[in-house]
């Protein structure tokens, strides 16, 4: 059964159960199917989802998908995966590169100032984006997800991280899409993260990529409509707040 939390409709996925306790949203009943979790029935653009806590098991992972609509079809615009690496005692932040163009940028900020901005080729080297694929809600193949940023487990979990998406679009006079920029950001308080074997202190990081279209591409604008979070080896998680930036 769905619940209203901070003014947003939250829907359980799989066997998950939702309860509001002491003003926070608790998500329980999470198994290892990869289908259990929750969805936020709202445009995730500039939506700030702040976690209070979550318990990652030895193979724990949380996948976030940002969903867009093409007519009656819902499809995945972008997907990120946070997963635990017990070998190195880190939490890794990966991205499903099936949804990323040839080049993307890894970005990090501290107090609003750029700490790193690294242009990186897509390891999958996909074809140029065209029409969106049909709905994809299953977990990605391992080969499609690569870790880009990592942080210490204890430090990261203690900082109560949050997520947000910052899209930017430009249009031709006829209303067709010209530029589509997508940025997904993690923003705890200042933390040391590792990118390309270099350690940086940041309070925001993520990836950003841009698709440019010619007027002849006749590319319509497919709006973002929802986000969903599914888990593996996560016993429970709690959301402190959901707000619009």
pLDDT at residue number 160: 60
Q: Residue 139: is its pLDDT beyond 60?
A: no
Instruction: Tell me what pLDDT residue 136 has.
Output: 31
Q: Which residue has the tokens 């499809």?
A: 75
* Average confidence score pLDDT of the chain: 82
Highest mean pLDDT out of 20-24, 118-122, 165-169, 194-198: 20-24
Burial class of residue 152, CB neighbours in 10 A (0-12, 13-18, 19+):
middle
Among 72-76, 125-129, 148-152, where is mean pLDDT lowest? 125-129
Specify the higher pLDDT residue, 73 or 22. Answer: 22
> What is the structure's pLDDT at 122?
84
Which tens digit of pLDDT belongs to each residue from 5-49?
999 999 999 999 999 999 999 999 998 888 999 999 999 988 889
Tell me: the pLDDT tens digits for 202-226?
888 888 999 899 988 888 778 899 9
pLDDT band at 238 (very low <50, low <70, confident <90, very high): very high
| Residue 113 pLDDT > 90 | yes
Residue-level pLDDT at 133: 37
Residue 127 has pLDDT above 70, yes or no: no
Residue 141: pLDDT over 50? no
Q: pLDDT at position 38, please?
A: 96
Tokens representing residue 134 in the block: 């049909």
**Per-residue confidence (pLDDT) for residue 204, from 0 to 100:** 86
Backbone φ and ψ for 136, nearest 5 degrees, come out as -130, 110
Q: Is the confidence at residue 132, as pLDDT, over 60?
A: no
**Cα 29–Cα 33–Cα 38 angle in degrees, nearest 5:** 50
Predicted structure pTM score: 0.83
């Amino acid at each position: 059964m769905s619940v209203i939390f901070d003014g947003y409709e939250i829907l359980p996925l799989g066997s998950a159960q939702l309860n509001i306790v002491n003003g926070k949203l608790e998500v329980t009943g999470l198994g290892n199917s990869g289908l259990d979790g929750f969805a936020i029935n709202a445009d995730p653009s500039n939506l700030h989802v702040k976690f209070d806590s979550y318990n990652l098991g030895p193979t724990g992972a949380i996948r976030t998908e940002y969903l867009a609509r093409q007519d009656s079809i819902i499809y995945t615009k972008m997907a990120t995966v946070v997963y635990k690496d017990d070998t190195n005692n880190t939490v890794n932040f990966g991205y499903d590169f099936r949804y990323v163009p040839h080049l993307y940028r890894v970005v990090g900020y501290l107090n609003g100032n750029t700490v790193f901005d690294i242009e990186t080729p897509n390891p999958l080297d996909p074809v140029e984006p065209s029409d969106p694929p049909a709905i994809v809600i299953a977990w990605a193949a391992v080969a499609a997800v690569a870790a880009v940023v990592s942080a210490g487990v204890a430090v990261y979990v203690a900082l109560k991280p949050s997520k947000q998406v910052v899209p930017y679009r430009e249009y031709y006079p006829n209303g067709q899409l010209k530029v589509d920029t997508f940025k997904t950001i993690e923003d705890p308080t200042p933390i040391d993260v590792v990118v390309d074997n270099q350690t940086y202190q940041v309070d925001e990081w993520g990836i950003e990529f841009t698709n440019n279209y010619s007027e002849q591409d006749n590319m319509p604008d497919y709006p973002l409509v929802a986000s969903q979070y599914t888990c593996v080896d996560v016993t429970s998680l709690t959301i402190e707040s959901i707000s619009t930036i």
